[in-house]
Structure 1
Amino acid sequence: MDEQELLKRSDGPVTRGRLVRDLKALGLAEGDVVMFHTEMSALGYVAGGPSTIIGALGDVVGASGTLMVTCGWNDAPPYDFVHWPQEWQDALRAEHPAYDPELSEADHNNGRLPEALRRWPGAVRSRHPDASFAALGAAAGELMADHPWDGPHGPGSPLARLVERGGRVLLLGAPLDSMTLLHHAEALAEAPGKRFVEYEQPIMVDGRRVWRRFHDIDSEDGAFDYSSVVPEGVWPFEVIAQDMLAAGIGVRGTVGAARSFLFDAGAVVRFGVDWMERKLGGGAAD
């Protein structure tokens, strides 16, 4: 979408000051620990791009607040490389670079903001290669420390610590199905048929590049089979989030030109776990 179209959509440039006003009106406040997801084109023409958005968020939460994003690793080896011809596997194992929290790019599918924030001076990125997060602000080190190698969306993860810190989730024009925090609910929910993945990726251990095997919920195709309770072609998180809003959890408003939402992280996880266990646990679906 070109700049003229973006300008029309947002009724003029979306500046840092305008973002600050809109974010405060939505309910974001000083001292907040907030994980955010952004679809920049939905905001309109943002004067200055990602740095303007990060700057505005920082202005609102202040020095005592913290910003957090999901990163992943854009150039991680594919899970299925273990099924490649042996010669290909050997070449990959011999030379694929290890994950580096400072150098490895965030997954491009997550948009421009995660890469911009993880490169920001003072930002801290977690150690997990496939499920890495990054944070900037007063609680960044605490949120990112000792990210569990296995179960990286479960207890002890940055997502769990976001909840423990009384954090919030902000969707800036991003669709409801982008709410990564619901993977934490999947990790905690006790319902039949939970799906897991195992994969290998290279990391640095004591200065040496080593291949490590990881175990996690299936966060790509879904930790559960939702087909009995979610319409075909709809991502389950969209349905769960809509049900949350209908239950009075979360607030909605406009930031720039974008429909945006602000949720309490603890409420998201409690609702998500209850929804999954109730809908998928063998009881009557409603």
Structure 2
Amino acid sequence: MSPPAGPDPARPPGVLALAVQLRLLGVRPRHRLLVHAALGGTGLRAEALRDALIGVLGPHGTIVVPAFTAENSLTSSAHLARVAGLTDAEKALFRSRMPAFDPARTPSQGVGVFAETVRTTPGAVRSAHPQTSFAALGADAARLCAGHRRESHLGEESPLGKLCWEGGQVLMINVGFSACTAFHLAEYRIPKPPLRMYDCVVKVNLPGGGQGEEWTVYEDVALDDGDFAEIGKTFPAARMRGGRVGGAPATLFSIPDAVDHALDWMTENRR
């Protein structure tokens, strides 16, 4: 007689176990949840985590993830690193071949496999910002992603701003506060935040039909996450719930609490 088969991580019990852990952490139905997850080395499957979150949040809840893109921008640190050392002619050639941002097709970059899994799930919606778009899945996905202004990367007129005003939460799995996007909203709320220019290429609809490409230049807050880890160290533990999801460390907290704390810290410590 052959021994009984062990648990299959691709089967529903894996999803159910994750759902129980998410509930123990504090995730509840109807929540609007901004998720940052780094699944490498954890053994967690992106699809299983997504399905567990869908099950816990229920039909009236919403998952939101960053779907950022930096490779279509002349002003991003990612682009500047790639063209460092090139001649002017080589930079011009590189620029002519840069892919334009298309919300429906451009993959997210640097935000992990879980975010990309959510973005490509049937029914997911993506905001139209060419640099800091968000993808969402669930009841409020379309509303949260609508009207994302270019001059508001991570400000009030972005999905992050809406999540804050509506009492959304952040779920971080296997990541630290250096990746806490919510802190960026505080940068828009400090008095006279520093500004900078951004330059990127986007897909546009042509008058006669079809699509073309267009370079767009706009001004927005000069975003800086260099001190986010330090801000996170002073975030009161009483405002967070910690635990483990699939064996990985996880933290759940309110977006308004995070933004308020970051604003206080930046007001005192940034010059």
TM-score by shorter chain over 0.5: yes
| Residue identity in the other structure for 2:251 | F
The CA deviation string for residues 2-26 of structure 1, in whole angstroms up to 9 with x for no partner, is xxxxxxxxxxxx9211110000000
Contact 2:73–2:131 (CA<8 Å) still a contact in 1? no
**Paired residue for 2:265?**
275
Match of 2:202 in 1: 203
Structure 1 contact 82–89 (Cα < 8 Å) conserved: no
1:240 corresponding residue in structure 2: 231
Match of 1:35, SS state, is strand
Displacement after TM superposition at 1:94 (Å): 4.1
**Preserved CA contact (<8 Å) 2:34 2:171:** yes
1:99 alignment partner AA: F
Give the SS at the match of 2:29: coil
CA distance, structure 2, for counterparts of residue 145 and residue 88 of structure 1: 37
Give the aligned residue type for 1:65. G
CA distance in 2, matches of 1:244, 1:87: 48
Cα deviation, residue 93, structure 1? 4.9
**1:278 Cα deviation from its structure 2 partner:** 2.6
Q: Which residue of 2 aligns with 1:179?
A: 180
Check 1:89–1:39 CA distance in 2 against 1; reply closer, same or farther (3 A cut). closer
Number of aligned residues: 248
Change in CA separation of 1:94 and 1:40 when aligned onto 2, cut-off 3 Å: closer
Contact 1:34 1:67 in 2 (8 A): yes
Unpaired runs of 5+ residues, structure 2, are 1-12, 207-211
Measured against aligned partners, the alpha-carbon deviations of 1:205-256 in whole angstroms (never above 9, x if no partner) come to 333321001323333xx27xxxxxxxxxxx521222221234x211111212
Asked if 1:45 corresponds to 2:34, the answer is no
2:219 aligned partner, one-letter code: H
Alignment-derived partner of residue 168 in structure 1: 169
Q: Would you say the 8 A contact 1:102–1:119 is kept in 2?
A: no
CA displacement at 1:163 relative to structure 2: 0.9
Tell me, in whole angstroms, the C-alpha distance in 2 between the residues paired with 1:214 and 1:84: 25
Query: Per-residue deviation at 1:87?
Result: 3.4
TM-score, length-normalised on structure 2?
0.83
Q: CA deviation at 1:41?
A: 3.4
Q: 1:131 & 1:203 partners in 2: Cα distance?
A: 13
Deviation at 1:58, TM superposition (A): 0.7
**Identity rate, percent:** 28
Q: Is the 8 A contact 2:71 2:98 kept in 1?
A: no
1:102 corresponds in structure 2 to 104
Asked whether the equivalents of residues 252 and 260 of structure 1 are also in contact (C-alpha less than 8 Å), the reply is yes
TM-score (norm 1): 0.79
Post-superposition Cα deviations, 1:119-158, rounded to whole Å, max 9, x if no partner, equal 1101111111111111111111111111111131112111
Superposition deviation, residue 268 in structure 1: 1.1
Q: Matches of residues 120-135 of structure 1 in structure 2 within 5 Å?
A: 120-135=121-136
- Residue 66 (structure 1) aligned to one of 58, 62, 68: 62
Residue 190 of structure 2 corresponds to residue 189 of structure 1 = yes
Cα distance, 1:69 vs structure 2: 0.7
Per-residue CA deviation, residues 24-68 of structure 1 (Å, 9 max, x unaligned), is 0000000000001112136x322xx21111111111101100001
Shift of 1:273: 1.1
Distance 1:210 1:21, change over 3 A: same
Q: Give the whole-Å Cα distance in 1 for the aligned partners of 2:244 and 2:94.
A: 46
Cα distance in 1 for residues equivalent to 2:219 and 2:114:
27
For residues 53-105 of structure 1, the C-alpha deviation after alignment (integer angstroms, 9 at most, x for no partner) is 11111111011000011111153244246996553454345443321111111
